[in-house]
């Protein structure tokens, strides 16, 4: 499908604006999301820190039994927690725990959740919820900040648990995992019969085993009265073991902590901010826990996404109309010029165009008008000359045309074959980089001519990686064909594994009788992905460079004879131990022998200095930096681009 210039300009500008709009929307989302979410979490962490500093650790340590509710300081602390819950947006629960170091357990002390009706808590290690009778007399369960009045299912680490309601006028109860766990005895005050005893106002805590999905689980059932804290001092903290261990660790470390991701605990999905409570001896004796509703976190993130999408759509709409105007602005003078060209092409040598602008288009119109006048004069003169020499020139013109067409056809065929050879050679290079975590790999290849004699390749599996680089003598098509034969020989060589000298010998054998007087320098490099042991064999090639994570740069020998039909090989295996973050650099002499406009070589010293300066960057970034530096050193106008440039950088990630 062919498009006119206006459509092409429109599509080009619009595509560019589309990309910019995408980047703008994504950048806005990323920056705003990270910044505001970090501020959101920091604010919740400050709430936890505020509460922990408002509590006397020595007093908090003594509030270990239900009798502690008679302590005036207990109620003052409860007021602080409850006021914080009611005034702070996005907070679900605030409560404190004491840590019993002797028994290595956690128990509730303060609870900022003051229910408006009697509730009963059901807590087992995989999950927990509370139940109550709502104002319409319907049995209701709250789990994961969702209120259920009909049967539902909880997904836990121990499997799915079905919760079934009995909400009839004569009987209210709850069946959990196939077991009748609650039978409501009275509504006000709330009391219930359970497999481990009757729970009511004057007998509020029951513990024991309850069968859930046919398996006995240790259970705690607790009564909380209307207008009273949901938990009392000394109540057992029932949670998943990993959350209990994390909480104890934070208390011992005496450092604040806030979850960066949503955590699923026994009560549902939350983000929790923690702040340890310290006694006068500086010991961590308890902790303040602030639970943040995960739905609020999700809504916050969706708000940021919505703003980014709105920004993207607005930018696209604005760019659409601006692009339409720009395309019309640029093509209107061209349409006038095109009309003049068509008039000229029709034979009217007096064609003139009018463009009112004085920019490049106006100057182009003036040049066109001047050109038409000159063409008219030249045409008249040409007619006179043609009449004089047409007879003498007829045969010569035919021969020149025929010879020109022949030369052009031969040149086009040669260029086509060279381009085909280039495509073939480029297709031999690796297409995809290794998809493994242990090693990161990057490479650059720039032939001096359309095709070249440098070649790189690699082979890998889950245990090992082999790197290969070579430089065929000469340039152009002969060197490229020999590098193609090297490519076909490599699969058999990779079978040698860590015996890289054997791999070099196999390559030498496979090329016997095919080198046509050329010679090859090469390196085989084998890396054991588990241990980081690297074995290399060098046949007359520039030494491999290892840059250590701490900055040391090492050249790896030994350098054997080049691969040639005239000389026997003497390959040697050299063993090098790689550590995490070490980089391995293979290159051809096109790197170190690159010359600037003063004919000064880049040299190994500058290469080492460049590698050491950028050693902390990734393999891809280091590869790009070396390549850019070499190209910049040569200079775009320099005639000294004398050799192929090939570079391979790998980083061992351990």
pLDDT at residue 300 in the model? 66
- Three-class SS state of 424: helix
Q: How far is CA 88 from CA 38, 109, 516, in A?
A: 17, 21, 83
With beta carbons less than 8 A apart as the criterion, state whether 372 and 351 touch: yes
Q: What is the pLDDT of residue 414?
A: 55
pLDDT at 426: 60
Alpha-carbon distance of 194 to 211, in angstroms, equals: 12
Residue with tokens 């836990």: 156
What residue spans of 147-263 are helical by DSSP H? Answer: 241-253
The answer to whether 212 and 176 have CB atoms below 8 angstroms apart is yes
Distance of CA 243 to the CA centre of its chain: 29
Residues with pLDDT less than 50, the chain: 637-640
In three-state secondary structure terms, 430 is coil
Residue 544 confidence (pLDDT): 94
Handedness of CA 476, 482, 488, 490 (dihedral sign): negative
What are 97's two structure tokens? 């725990």
Tell me whether the omega of the peptide bond preceding residue 488 falls within 30 degrees of 0, making it cis: no
Nearest to 94 by CA among 64, 132, 54, 125: 54
Tens of pLDDT, residue by residue over 70-101, are 899 999 999 999 898 888 877 878 999 999 99
Q: What tokens does 489 get?
A: 């020989």
For residue 221, give the nearest of 253, 183, 257 by alpha carbon.
Answer: 183
What is the reported pLDDT for 428? Answer: 61
CA angle 8, 14, 16 (to 5 degrees): 105
Chain centroid to Cα 115, Å, comes to 45
d(CA 126, CA 102): 25
Cα distance between residue 386 and residue 285, in whole Å = 110
**Rounded Cα–Cα distance for residues 539 and 482 (Å):** 16
Encoded tokens for 221? 């059932």
Look up residue 205 and give its two tokens.
């805590």
Whole-prediction pTM:
0.43
Scan for tokens 């500086």, then name that residue. Answer: 282
Answer for the pair 114, 150: CB distance below 8 angstroms, yes or no. Answer: no
Q: Give the three-state DSSP class for 551.
A: coil
Helix axes of 5-54 and 294-345: crossing angle, nearest 10 degrees: 160
What ranges make up the beta strands (E) of 481-532?
Answer: 520-528
Q: Please, what are the domains in the chain?
A: 35-298 (no CATH), 349-422 (no CATH), 430-652 (3.60.40.10)
For residue 626, give both structure tokens: 């070396």
Return the H-helix or E-strand segment holding 545.
strand 544-547
Residues of 389-411 as b/e, b for ≥16 C-beta within 10 angstroms? eeeeeeeeeeeeeeeeeeeeeee
Close Cβ partners of 453 (under 8 Å, ≥ 6 residues apart) = 471, 472, 473, 474, 475, 479, 480, 482, 483, 644
Handedness of CA 5, 6, 10, 13 (dihedral sign): positive
Angle of helix 619-634 relative to helix 603-613, nearest 10 degrees, comes to 140
Strand partners, 460: 465
Residue 218's pLDDT is what?
A: 92
Q: Provide the β-strand partners of residue 166.
A: 173
Note the pLDDT of residue 638.
Answer: 45
- DSSP bridge partners of 131: 120, 141
Q: Specify whether the backbone of 341 is left (phi greater than 0), alpha (psi in -120 to 50) or beta.
A: alpha
Pairing state between β 205-212 and 583-587: unpaired
Q: What tokens does 651 get?
A: 């980083």
Peptide bond into 189 cis (omega under 30): yes
Give me 20's structure tokens: 């910019």
């Amino acid at each position: 499908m062919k498009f006119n210039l206006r459509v092409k300009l429109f599509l080009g500008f619009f595509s560019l604006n589309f990309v910019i709009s995408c980047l703008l929307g994504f950048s806005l989302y990323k920056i705003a999301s990270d910044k505001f979410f970090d501020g959101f979490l920091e604010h919740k962490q400050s709430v936890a820190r505020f509460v922990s500093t408002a509590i006397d650790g020595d007093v908090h340590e003594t509030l270990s039994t239900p009798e502690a509710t008679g302590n005036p300081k207990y109620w003052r602390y409860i007021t602080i927690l409850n006021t914080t819950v009611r005034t702070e947006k996005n907070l679900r629960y605030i409560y404190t725990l004491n840590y019993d170091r002797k028994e290595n357990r956690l128990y509730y002390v303060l609870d900022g959740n003051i229910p408006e009706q009697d509730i009963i808590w059901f807590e087992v290690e995989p999950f927990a919820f509370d139940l109550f009778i709502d104002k319409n007399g319907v049995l209701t369960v709250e789990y994961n900040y969702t209120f259920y009045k009909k049967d539902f299912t909880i997904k836990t680490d121990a499997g799915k648990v079905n919760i079934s309601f009995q909400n009839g006028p004569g009987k209210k109860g709850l069946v959990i995992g196939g077991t009748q766990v609650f039978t409501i005895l009275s509504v006000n005050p709330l009391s219930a019969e359970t497999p481990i005893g009757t729970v009511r106002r004057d007998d509020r805590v029951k513990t024991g085993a309850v069968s859930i999905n046919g398996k006995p689980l240790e259970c705690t059932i607790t009564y909380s009265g209307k207008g009273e804290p949901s938990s009392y001092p000394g109540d057992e903290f029932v949670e998943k073991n990993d959350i209990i261990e994390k909480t104890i660790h934070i208390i011992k470390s005496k450092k604040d902590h806030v979850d960066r991701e949503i955590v699923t605990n026994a009560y549902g999905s939350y983000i929790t901010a923690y702040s340890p409570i310290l006694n006068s001896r500086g010991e961590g004796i308890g902790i303040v826990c602030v639970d943040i509703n995960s739905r609020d976190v999700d809504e916050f993130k969706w708000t940021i996404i919505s703003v980014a999408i709105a920004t993207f759509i607005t930018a696209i709409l604005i760019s659409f109309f601006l692009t339409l105007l720009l395309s019309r602005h640029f093509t209107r003078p061209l349409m006038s010029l095109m009309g003049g060209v068509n008039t000229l092409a029709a034979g009217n040598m007096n064609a003139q165009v009018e463009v009112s602008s004085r920019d490049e288009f106006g100057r182009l119109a003036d040049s066109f008008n001047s050109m038409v006048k000159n063409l008219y004069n030249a045409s008249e003169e040409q007619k006179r000359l043609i009449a004089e020499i047409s007879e003498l020139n007829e045969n010569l013109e035919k021969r020149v045309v025929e010879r020109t067409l022949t030369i052009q056809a031969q040149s086009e065929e040669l260029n086509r074959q060279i381009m085909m050879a280039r495509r073939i050679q480029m297709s031999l290079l690796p297409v995809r980089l290794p998809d493994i975590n242990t090693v990161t790999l990057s490479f650059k290849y720039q032939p001096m001519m359309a095709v070249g004699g440098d070649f790189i390749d690699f082979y890998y599996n889950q245990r090992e990686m082999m790197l290969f680089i070579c430089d065929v003598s000469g340039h152009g098509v002969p060197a490229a064909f020999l590098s193609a034969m090297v490519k076909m020989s490599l699969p058999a060589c990779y079978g040698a594994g860590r015996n890289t000298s054997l791999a070099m010998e196999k390559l030498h054998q496979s090329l016997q009788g095919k080198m046509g007087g050329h010679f090859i320098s090469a390196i085989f490099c084998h890396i054991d992905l588990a241990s980081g042991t690297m074995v290399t064999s060098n046949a007359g090639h520039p030494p491999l460079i290892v840059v250590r994570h701490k900055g040391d740069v090492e050249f790896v020998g030994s350098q054997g004879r080049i691969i040639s039909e005239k000389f026997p090989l003497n390959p040697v295996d050299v063993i090098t131990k790689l550590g995490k973050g070490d980089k391995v650099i293979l290159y051809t002499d096109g790197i170190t022998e690159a010359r600037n406009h003063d004919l000064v070589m880049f040299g190994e010293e500058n290469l080492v200095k460049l590698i050491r300066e950028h050693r902390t960057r990734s393999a891809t970034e280091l590869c790009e930096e070396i390549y850019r530096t070499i190209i910049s050193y040569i200079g775009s106008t320099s005639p000294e681009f004398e050799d192929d440039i090939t570079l391979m950088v790998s980083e061992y990630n351990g």
